[in-house]
Structure 1
Amino acid sequence: MVLAVTAGLTLVGSSTLLAAPALDDVARPASPTETASRDIQWRDDASCDLATVDALAARHPEVRQFVVLATSTFNDTAGTAFTAARRANEEWVCQTEQQIARFGRTGTRPLVERRSGDGTTPAGVFPLGEVTAWDGERVSVFGNRPDPGVRPGVGYRDVRPEDCWGATPNTPEYQRLFARPGCPGPEDEWLLRFGDVYSHAAVIGANLDPVSGDEPGEPPYAAAIFLHRHSYTETGATRPTSGCVSLPLLDLATTIRLLDPQLTPHFAIGPTSWLRTTA
């Protein structure tokens, strides 16, 4: 099956909710009635770095779908993103073209070497995260806009006014989605406040299961690490993030719609040479 993809937009934006681009231009996922043996959505005209995917797959054989978020060096704040998956015939194929991605304002760093607030994006191979919200809902993707069309088995949450993602180190709420409008801690994220930057956001499973940093004295490796929409300056330039990875809106929606629990999706983040040899 060939996936139609619309190029991402470059918008002058803010954290307020803007008029929504036409997400219907991005192909919807396949029917939920299809079985686990079905083939995947992919683009026969797409080009991506399958050499890196092959190297990752050799070390992570259980993974059948990678979202590769790559830079040239650990210091870079900009790089590329693409999604690749293993077909039923075991062939790896590109599900998207390479897209423009932004990373932490101080680059990327292996998870155990970084700390919350240092401005780096965690480098490594991480699953699509899943957390239990304060009301019991299981969440892997959330947003200040309606569900863009996630696949069955991917929990999508419409952001509530109470939703606060704990990011203050060494507190019980660290790396948890709890209820507190406005958020109490200095580093906690009130999801509603982020507006269209969190139009849709996928949870990157860095420092999840188990969490380090929710007890006194534990190293706070990472909290609130998401794949979300670009933030823009007043001139329309993209900004680096505080530790997440960002994409243009329509590229983000395409990626989120492709995430397939049957393929054990993982995010591979870091410099290309490091991903090929170490991650």
Structure 2
Amino acid sequence: MKIGEIMPLDREITLNEGKSQISVIVANVGDRPVQVGSHFHFFEVNLCLVFKREMTYGYRLDIPSGTSVRFEPGEEKEIKLVAIGGTKRVFGLNDLTCEQINDNTKKKALKHELHPKSWTQNNFWRCSFFMTKYSNEFKVKAIKMVLKGDSISHVAKILNMPDIAPLCRWISHYEHGGIPQLLHKNRKYTPIFKQKVIEYKWLHHLSLNQTAAKFSIPNTGTISTWEKLYHSYGFSGLLAKKRGRPSMKKSKSKNKVNKPKKELSYVEQLEQENYQLRMENDLLKKWHALMKQWEKEGRH
């Protein structure tokens, strides 16, 4: 016998021999292809796959381990399923089972809708990819459930939220300012306010979530962007900039009156002086280098 040598049996091995098997017709009514792995609990597959879902509870694809079946958009085909073996305990996936497969857990699973992390809407005939946006009523409802004693993870699961991060952020805002802060609208921030937020965060060693709640800023990414700009450009990086592309149209007016130049702010004056000093410094370096070269060549 050699190391790594494969010694097959003289007979063929029947795949999933003796296990319960069923056939089901599956149609992909979505606009994206869906691929299902060999050991995925077929009852919990993507909502864009339409079939008699109830009869597939406790079954998986009858294919070799590590392989998969692909369903193209609009495709309909018959597939074979085989009963899940072993201890028949199924966890994760779309969180419809999360325990041992039996008649009791099947009744519970049938009462739930698919979890949003399947990335499709709960609509068999119009499946599309989406990003979740939450209404004010939804936020208030979630907060009230947490205040009644339900855990954050439990509330997120009951309300079909794919992530607990938004709920944690809402709770932080509620704790700092109640319902008004939770439902605050978009605001415009001055450069001085931005600087105050950043320096307060650094001084008190706060996280992005804590800082956002403290100053009623809805998105932690906003503060993160301010920090990067402040690190790179100082206070001038926090100044408001015009959005959009500059106009490409040229003025047709020949008798254009020159408007008086706008006075520079103190920060802009310092930046302009700094730029001029750098230019002078570079010019002096080049001049000294040229003088040394002339001395070597004997020029005067």
TM-score by length of 2: 0.18
Between 1 and 2, higher relative CO (CA 8 Å, sep ≥ 6) is seen in 1
Compare the two structures and name the one with the higher strand fraction: 1
Q: Which has the larger radius of gyration?
A: 2
| Bigger fraction of residues in helix | 2
TM-score (ref. length: structure 1): 0.18
